[in-house]
Structure 1
Amino acid sequence: MRMYLVDSFTDHAFAGNPAGVVLLDAPAEEAWMQSVAAELKHSETAFVVTTGEGAKPLRWFTPVAEVALCGHATLATAHVLGGDQVFSTKSGELRCTADGGWVRMDFPADRSEPIEIDPAAALPGVTVEHVAKGKFDLLVVAGNAAQVRELRPDLDAIRALDVRGLTVTAPGDRDGIDFVSRFFAPAKGVDEDPVTGSAHCTLAPYWAGRLGRDELVGEQASPRGGVVRVHLNGDRVTLSGQAVTVFSGELHA
């Protein structure tokens, strides 16, 4: 089987979010896919069946669990396969379109709702201005971008929350950046995800409502960093990013 390592949401290697991509001729056993993802140790590894007609079956695994939606590994898969792609996933049909060196991904919007919970203990140094919950994650709005960039979270406290992960966000502090964010999912084996496409399905509706614009640019301010363009269109979000193939080879196990 062919296997690739792709850095997503970046235009150069060793930045953005690395994802494994494994090309399959037929559906694989779940336990085997989980073992491969654990071996590779990326925040997500994508497994896509490339044979047959119609939408290509696509699944994503962290080192410890399968997830229902993943943006950067979808971007990596579309980058490897090239051209326009349609994937069949646990979050429905996802369409990807090549666009001049970028990949545009049509994802479901995840509108968050305010929730009565105090995450301050998990986020030392953060002035919590708003807390909401989407389908998968907790969304916390911080007082400013510096608090997001300098955050050293309590991962044990985040792990105890009944969510996939926690997104911390604030208004942008640089030209061309509308908002910044970071994402933590220690319960899923990902202490900090470098760039999280699926989190932007929640970030896009929030910031579109707050800023009054449907087209925005987000910076995920992790140590590797990355940029995600978002376009809110009703109950869908277009996520756009670039990707770079770092490694390709054969998987023998």
Structure 2
Amino acid sequence: MTLNCDTAPKKENPMPLDIHIIDAFTDTVFKGSSAAVIILNQWLEDSVMQSIASQNNLSETAFLVKNETDLEDKATLDYHIRWFSPLKEMDFCGHATLASAFLLFEQHSTATSIHFYAKAVGSLIIQKTPEGKIRMNFPNTLPSLIYSATHELAADVDPVINTVLAHLPNAHKIYKNHQAYFIMFDNETAVLGFEPDTLLMTQLAPLGLVLTAQAQSNKYSKYDFISRYFSQALGGAEDPVTGSVHTALAPLWGKQLSKDQLLAYQASSRGGELQCELQGDRVLISGHAVRYLSGVIEI
């Protein structure tokens, strides 16, 4: 019996789209956080962009459309940006923003800055640094303290506190912002040894979970703090490296350590390094990026 492998119907006039996969917050492939970047002439249907992101199955896919408004500064690029996880559109994504900036700077060698506009967060300014990193300027999202093991707080601050303590009884402090619960520990072992907890993530929804501690061991001695992040947008799975949570972690640890400049490490299996600088109500986050793949998809 002969099998015909060409019986699948052919798409008529498929649309080719260039796609690039960039590893962000690293200068080495197979590390950092991967994001797909697609530059469009105009927006696709939301359902199509969601299908592409789901098919990519990376933590985020960024879609860019150039803003045709002429800027006086010709060294600045101007783009609209949207981010999609495999499950839904995201309000904001730091590592996919860095990946997008890396690609644009590579394609436009004379550009020194990028203006991104996103509906949920407004304007984002991205710049090259003299050290070859990409620096992103984000709003400060300092979380609020809702629990401390050493200070009595109102019992009704947040009903989730008891839930967290039932799963993580050695939590030293618990903070909260619009994105996640931030669990601070006295030692990094609690962060590094944590096993994903599906039940806890279900109870925390719609917010994510960040675990953090001051860096202590020789392995992490160059860093000020380490963290791990489990995202509801990824079905509760661990995100490799996350720029957005560092807009909260940097000011949080800045207060703890009385520092305006901090070096952070997100201790996922891939791992990534983030340089953070506090400037009032803004947080500057810098990192490297490296291309993993470039190709064409057809839709």
TM-score (ref. length: structure 2): 0.80
How many angstroms does 1:135 deviate by? 1.9
**Contact kept in structure 2, 1:63 and 1:189, CA below 8 Å:** no
Structure 1 stretch displaced more, 180-189 or 76-85: 180-189
Q: Partners in 2 of 1:34 and 1:252 — Cα distance?
A: 15
How many angstroms does 1:161 deviate by? 1.2
**Residue 104 of structure 2 is aligned to residue 58 of structure 1:** no
Q: Partners in 1 of 2:167 and 2:132 — Cα distance?
A: 38
**Contact kept in structure 1, 2:137 and 2:284, CA below 8 Å:** yes
Secondary structure of the corresponding residue to residue 259 of structure 2: coil
Within the candidate set 99, 103, 111, 1:80 is matched to 103
Q: Partners in 1 of 2:190 and 2:180 — Cα distance?
A: 20
Structure 1 stretch displaced more, 182-191 or 228-237: 182-191
Letter in 1 for 2:294: S
**Residue 228 of structure 2 is aligned to residue 182 of structure 1:** yes
Secondary structure of the corresponding residue to residue 128 of structure 1: coil
**Residue 165 of structure 2 is aligned to residue 120 of structure 1:** yes
**Contact kept in structure 1, 2:95 and 2:241, CA below 8 Å:** yes
Paired residue for 1:221? 267
**Runs of 5+ unmatched residues, structure 1:** none
How many angstroms does 1:76 deviate by? 0.1
**Contact kept in structure 2, 1:159 and 1:187, CA below 8 Å:** no
Q: Partners in 2 of 1:97 and 1:187 — Cα distance?
A: 28
Paired residue for 1:25? 41
Paired residue for 1:95? 125
Paired residue for 1:147? 190
How many angstroms does 1:120 deviate by? 3.1
1:144–1:215 distance in 2 versus 1, CA, 3 Å = same
Paired residue for 2:149? none
Q: Partners in 1 of 2:125 and 2:297 — Cα distance?
A: 27
Letter in 2 for 1:76: A
How many angstroms does 1:155 deviate by? 2.3
RMSD: 1.5
How many angstroms does 1:146 deviate by? 1.3
**Runs of 5+ unmatched residues, structure 2:** 1-16, 72-77, 106-110, 147-157
**Contact kept in structure 2, 1:25 and 1:51, CA below 8 Å:** no
Q: Partners in 2 of 1:187 and 1:60 — Cα distance?
A: 11
Paired residue for 1:251? 297
1:182-201 to 2 correspondence within 5 Å? 182-186=228-232, 188-189=234-235, 191-201=237-247
Paired residue for 2:211? 168
Greater per-residue strand proportion: 1
Secondary structure of the corresponding residue to residue 14 of structure 1: coil
**Residue 43 of structure 2 is aligned to residue 43 of structure 1:** no
Letter in 2 for 1:69: F
Larger Rg: 2
**Contact kept in structure 2, 1:43 and 1:190, CA below 8 Å:** no
Structure 1 stretch displaced more, 80-89 or 160-169: 160-169
How many angstroms does 1:164 deviate by? 3.3
